[in-house]
Amino acid sequence: MLLGLTVMSSKPVFEVKISKKRLISIPKAVADMLGIVEGMKLKVYVEDNKIILEPVRDALWYAIYGPKIGFISFKEIEEESIFEQERLSDTS
């Protein structure tokens, strides 16, 4: 073990210490791998006698990194914009 890091079955395993208030620090390497930053929320649950921490992703994260379910081209956006502008100018 080097600096609290153990390598088991090709996966890095970190040891952390629980404080008096039952707090733990997430190792920087783990936080960086998962994109966990200060202020971010995590889901905490127990599964098979293990504590699981899972990042809670917000709408912006999903918009940038999440699965893409549709595609719209810049041409389609421009056409829709022109259509809406004409529609709004016709009602004035």
- Percent pLDDT > 90 in the chain is 42
What domains can you pick out in the chain, each with its CATH number? 5-91 (2.10.260.10)
Q: Which residues contact 55 (CB under 8 A, 6 or more apart)?
A: 34, 35, 36, 40, 41, 42, 43
CA angle, 1 then 29 then 43, to 5°: 110
pLDDT at 89 over 70: yes
From the list 60, 16, 17, the residue with the least C-alpha distance to 40 is 60
Please write the tens of the pLDDT for every residue from 14-59.
999 999 999 999 999 999 988 888 888 899 999 999 999 998 888 8
**pTM beyond 0.75:** no
